[in-house]
Structure 1
């Protein structure tokens, strides 16, 4: 099992504290040992076989779909769109993956609050990082949104970078929400309450108009 590189400072500090606590307090030792085990669990980055298909829009995150809505997106898609919101609990893998292959042609960062990520207003008020990916077929927006516990968004890619479908582009530390916006002519294959897996679950299909 691989770990995200962001785990390193937490693991070093907790390992040192756990070692020292062994000589000081049995209770403290087990508390710190459990904390170290949780960090290793949280920052896990499992190997995944990605089956790439340019007709599919894959889930950008592990978690549960909390809502699917139609709305007007005027920034990047510029038209009728569908928003799929995925809630990530503390026990989900928090690695974000690209839903399709393409080029990042739009980025945006917005500072904000830290309301619980499962609240409907968290999307509009919480800290958020957004990337826009496009190829010859479609444009999509992926939003990384902090939560009550999650306070750190990590994005490895920048505007102008190319990404492959299922490729890791970032993560959100300790509980969060990831949203995906795409045009409303996409056939949605999931529903609210479904459990999804980043890079594996197909959220929508680009239907052939020919």
Structure 2
């Protein structure tokens, strides 16, 4: 099982505690070894095969579609857009993926609160990171949102990078929520309550 590199320090720490516990003759090594196994599962990074269809928008995270609506996105777009929200529980894969192929044109990290990511306000008030991608001239944005448990957003791309749909672009430690922002004319192909596979499921079409 492949593990995201961000999880390796936590696994190493659990193994270190297990070694110390074994050295002093305590029964705790098994507890720390079990913890290391749980952390490895939390940070698993499975292979993904994105849909190759032109104009395909791929799920940016593994989880449940909790909201499909129209909102104002005043950062990258500067206008009203279609939003698709995917909520990741602590049991889902935490890696985030590029929803489209294109060039990263915009990055904006915002410090904030750590409220329940299921709430509407979380997108605006919680710690978040927005990545704007131009897909053959069509703007698309993905927003990583921290939650009550997830308190560390990792972004693996910078402005000017070329990314492909389904490429790993970041991670939110221990789950939370990812929003995708699309032009209003985008064709939404999923429904609220549907589970999607990050990096694989086609959630919309553009262009």
Same fold (TM over 0.5): yes
- How far residue 32 of structure 1 moved from its aligned partner, in angstroms, is 1.4
Find the counterpart in structure 1 of residue 190 from structure 2.
Answer: 190
* Misfit runs of 4+, over 3 Å: none
The answer on whether the counterparts of 1:57 and 1:99 sit within 8 Å (CA) in structure 2 is yes
Where structure 2 has 5 or more consecutive residues not aligned to the other structure, the ranges are: none
How far apart in 2 are the matches of 1:149 and 1:131?
22
The equivalences for 1:83-122 within 5 A come to 83-122=83-122
TM-score normalised per structure 2: 0.94
Find the counterpart in structure 2 of residue 153 from structure 1.
Answer: 153
How far apart in 2 are the matches of 1:198 and 1:99?
9
TM-score normalised per structure 1: 0.93
The equivalences for 1:55-66 within 5 A come to 55-66=55-66
How far apart in 2 are the matches of 1:177 and 1:24?
42
Tell me the secondary structure at the aligned position of residue 39 of structure 2.
Answer: helix
Matched residue pairs, number?
Answer: 206
How far apart in 1 are the matches of 2:51 and 2:193?
24
Where structure 1 has 5 or more consecutive residues not aligned to the other structure, the ranges are: none
How far apart in 1 are the matches of 2:187 and 2:51?
19
How far apart in 2 are the matches of 1:63 and 1:73?
23
How far apart in 2 are the matches of 1:87 and 1:25?
39
Q: Aligned pair 1:48/2:48, yes or no? A: yes
Q: Aligned pair 1:181/2:202, yes or no? A: no
The answer on whether the counterparts of 2:51 and 2:202 sit within 8 Å (CA) in structure 1 is no
- How far residue 119 of structure 1 moved from its aligned partner, in angstroms, is 2.1
- How far residue 137 of structure 1 moved from its aligned partner, in angstroms, is 4.4
RMSD over aligned Cα, in angstroms? 1.4
- How far residue 199 of structure 1 moved from its aligned partner, in angstroms, is 1.4
Find the counterpart in structure 2 of residue 24 from structure 1.
Answer: 25
